[in-house]
Amino acid sequence: MKPEFQAALFFLPEDDIAGIAPLGAGNINDTYAVTLRSGERRILQRLNPSVFQDPHAVMRNIRIVLDHLRREIQNETSWGNKFTVLSLYTGKSGDWFAARDGSAWRLMSMVRDSITCSSVSDPRQAKKLGRGLGFFHRLLSNLDPEQLVDTLPDIHNTAKYLYQFDKIISLRGQPATVQAEFCSSFIQQRRQLVNILEDNKKKLRSGVIHGDPKVDNFLFDRKGKRVISLIDLDTIKSGLLLHDLGDALRSCCNSGGEASHEPEKIYFDPDLFGSWLAGYFTEAGFLLNKIDREHIVDSVQLITFELGLRFYTDYLDGNSYFNVRFPDQNIQRALVQFYLAQSIEKQSDYLQSLVREVIHTL
């Protein structure tokens, strides 16, 4: 019996299941669409056990956040029923299934009439994404972060990722290719980036963050006119708001998309950047203090560099962390992030001026 079918049977009677098919191509978890005999569709997801080693804590965090969002959204007048909070389904003995291989499975509602986007080219869409994350942060701003378990304590510990890179290089070296040489040289020349936020951590605003607010974790309505949900909440935790902003902007403003096969042509779009910020500040600008605002561009540059570093290190380590569909996918991903970081560097002063412009118009 296939593992996804075995997991589905924990939640559903066999006679209710019409079919199970892979859905999407996530970097970490495996996702399936379960179609019921009634025609209803649900999301079945396997948590990667090498990444999420405490599924009990992951699921507890998600329950706390979903319950909080449902309570808070009842008082919303600007979004109201336009934002959908996901539901978890209970199985035979809880809301997650422990498989023999150590992985955990869960069954969730599927947001009807929704679409995802892998890249953004329209400033109006970027503004909606900014508003979406701002709305999410605002609703969670009065949730006590101490209620959540930090299931990924080093998720944005750039210095640790650099240490891991140095260790693997010393043990294994690297391939003698142009791409590998570019990646290694890029990392070595930017080692000073790792502590940009860490040196100011005590002055920066912390709160409950999503942890992975990339573009395709936002759901739009079918016409693409508004954000109606934010998915993949496994990385929910207490952290710096700038970690979320940096990651969201990194993803949103790469108009070529994260799967580009021409990384040298990657461009960080300042128009998308300004529009995204305008959307975020409309909803949650009050959450960011003066020091946060001064480090927005730094956060984008750091998270972009960090992700490239993680992809390249995983490539050197035999692709043990991120899911890949071909052997060189992680170095391809790394190149996209490094060229994107290079584009951010070249426009740093202009991007800083856009931050000031958005703040001035509040």
With residues binned 3-state (H G I as helix, E B as strand, rest as coil), the percentages for the chain, rounded to 5, are: 50, 15, 35
- Give strand ranges (E) for the chain: 17-22, 30-36, 41-47, 97-98, 104-109, 114-115, 206-209, 218-221, 227-230, 237-240
Please give the CATH architecture assigned to the domain spanning 123-360. Answer: Alpha-Beta Complex (3.90)
Listed by start position, the domains of the chain span 3-110, 123-360
What is the separation of C-alpha 56 from the centre of its chain, rounded to a whole number of angstroms? 21
- Residue 290 identity: K
Could you give the 3-state DSSP secondary structure of residue 45? strand
- Give the CATH number of domain 3-110; options: 3.30.200.20, 3.40.640.10, 3.40.50.300, 1.10.240.10: 3.30.200.20
List the pLDDT tens digit at each of the 362 positions of the chain.
899 999 999 999 999 999 999 987 766 788 999 999 999 999 999 998 888 889 999 999 999 999 999 999 988 877 656 899 999 999 988 999 999 888 899 999 999 889 988 889 799 999 999 999 999 999 999 999 999 999 988 889 999 999 999 999 999 888 989 999 999 999 999 999 899 999 999 999 999 999 999 999 999 998 888 899 999 999 999 999 999 999 999 999 997 888 888 999 999 999 999 999 999 999 999 999 999 999 999 999 999 999 999 999 999 999 988 888 899 999 999 999 999 999 999 999 999 999 999 998 87
Q: What is the pLDDT of residue 39?
A: 94
Q: Which residues of 286-325 are buried (b: 16+ CB within 10 A; e: fewer)?
A: ebbeeebbbbbbbbbbbbbbbbbbbbbbbbbbebebbebe
What is the separation of C-alpha 128 from the centre of its chain, rounded to a whole number of angstroms? 17
First to last CA, the chain: 57
Q: Which residues of 185-196 are buried (b: 16+ CB within 10 A; e: fewer)?
A: ebbeebeebbeb
In whole angstroms, how far apart are CA 120 and each of 144, 238, 362? 33, 28, 24
